[in-house]
Structure 1
Amino acid sequence: MHHKNILLISGTTRLHDRMRELSHAIDVSIALANEETFSQAVSSGHEFDLVILDADGMSQDTLNAVDSFVAENGFIPMLLVQDPDKLSTMRMPTQGKNDFILSTAGVDELEVRCSLLLWPGEESAPADIVTVDNMTINLATYQVYIDEKPVDLTLMEYSLLSFLATHPSRAYSRETLLHRVWGFEYCGGTRTVDVHIRRVRSKVGPQVAAHIVTIRGVGYLFRV
């Protein structure tokens, strides 16, 4: 699955929280535009892989401009956002690969519909997302978020945390963690595991750190 760019065109902020959650769930960057900034967004030089159009309150001129932009750029896939009471008046584009979603839909449905349009046949599987308390791990993009904010982990810190979180309720010795996380070629001592555990705990905060339990005489366990 490769990184994609989404352009959201909306006259309100009602989708912003869901779009922020979406950017944590799948590997996308999101640009925001309204009627006033649409022309600036499309002339910025950025290439967009999906257009999400919230037509509520949009003028016909803006709707026509969006249609032209999509067509002139090889019929970029479009996801229309429609209010339930306006389904009978919904106007779907006749060309290109498009879909619609109700404005009341949650982020899970939004993720599925966007993934189908962005990565047909290779959608991000639910197993790619691990959620524990206020932490989200995206295994597809190697990203960790605490309270929706990215955590700056080194590759080995991420690998250690993701391994423990995806193998919960089982104690692993330091030697086993060196083998499973660092690999056969690592020649350092087991103390490096303790050092990395300490760094991970300090970066993820006390709520998540409490799940990383030291098993005296053995090693570490991720308790859920």
Structure 2
Amino acid sequence: MSEKSALFMARTTRFHEFARSLTTTLGVEVSLATPDSPTAAHDFDLLILDSDGIRSDRIDQIAKWLDDRGGVPMLVIVDDEALGTLRLPNHAHADFVCPTATPNELKARAQRLMGEEETVTADDVLNIDNLEINLATYQVTLDNEPIDLTLMEYSLLSFLATHPNRAYSREVLLHRVWGFEYCGGTRTVDVHIRRIRSKVGPQIAAHITTVRGVGYLFKD
């Protein structure tokens, strides 16, 4: 019997074989459940949630349910095309992984969430005025209050903030943040910048400078 156990929750059976394989790859006992019937008969150390077909508000409810169970960590499986709208709950132990992740990546993320604590170093935390970006946990706070950013909003903000005082074109930002596979137009960068500015407030928004004819620059 494994010392650790995981609950795999999904609306479909598309990853059931994958879930069962975790007994071997992670050395954990795996049970199956659905988001509509989440009750587990026993305690578990990790929830692995396939987010396909699950609304973001339902994911928030599941996160609260985990908090009531003592703060069980959650690893969310999200399809590549849904990354732009993914919102990880403001949950101390939540992470995401794509279905295309290697077994080693999945193992590393799951082990980290299951209590093999990593020390968050000063290099993992970026402070700009009253904004804090935790690069280890993907969390952003403003005046110690969490900001609700999508994954792509977080990725764009953190990229610019960790590469200050250098102008990046929209094309380069699409390549560096969205990746090779993104097929949309550069206008999406402007849309995400506008959303970020509205969420971080005027003081932080002033750091994000539009460089006419080029793109954007983050002033430190």
TM-score (norm 2): 0.48
Higher gyration radius (CA): 1
Normalising by structure 1, report the TM-score.
0.47
Bigger RCO (CA 8 Å, 6+ sep): 1
